[in-house]
């Protein structure tokens, strides 16, 4: 079993920055992709960014150039650096670790972008 704990959310003004962290406990040797998703009120959960074991990254068009996903294998942690935040980035952000027959989610962390 893998347990994921997110941190780093909060309230930030438009144009500000936040860094989300997702730390895993348990073995992640079978995890292939780590990702961040978000879900705004009355909207479906959407992929924000992902990173593979090989280091390949994918970003939603809405965050390209503003968000950066990275991972620290030794710490079993994935990060999401969010810059130039906009009100439309407001959502609950969830981390996800995926592998063959494996799919783990964190509890979510609230990000609110407002003046």
Place of tokens 């936040």: 18
pLDDT 10s digits, 35-75: 999 999 999 999 999 999 899 999 999 999 999 999 998 99
| Contact between 77 and 17 (Cβ < 8 Å) | no
Query: What does the block give as tokens for 59?
Result: 């970003």
pLDDT digits (tens, 9 = 90+) for 80-110: 999 999 999 999 999 999 998 899 999 999 9
């Amino acid at each position: 079993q893998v347990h994921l704990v997110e941190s780093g959310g909060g309230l930030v003004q438009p144009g500000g920055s936040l860094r989300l962290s997702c730390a895993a406990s348990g073995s992640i040797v079978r995890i292939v992709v780590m990702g961040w998703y978000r879900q705004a009120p009355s909207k479906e959960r959407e992929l924000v960014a992902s990173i593979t074991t090989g280091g390949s990254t994918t970003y939603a068009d809405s965050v390209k150039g503003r968000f950066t996903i990275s991972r620290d294998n030794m710490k079993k942690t994935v990060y999401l650096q969010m810059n130039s935040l906009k009100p439309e980035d407001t959502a609950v952000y969830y981390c996800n670790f995926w592998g063959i027959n494996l799919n783990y989610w964190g509890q979510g962390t609230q990000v609110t972008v407002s003046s």
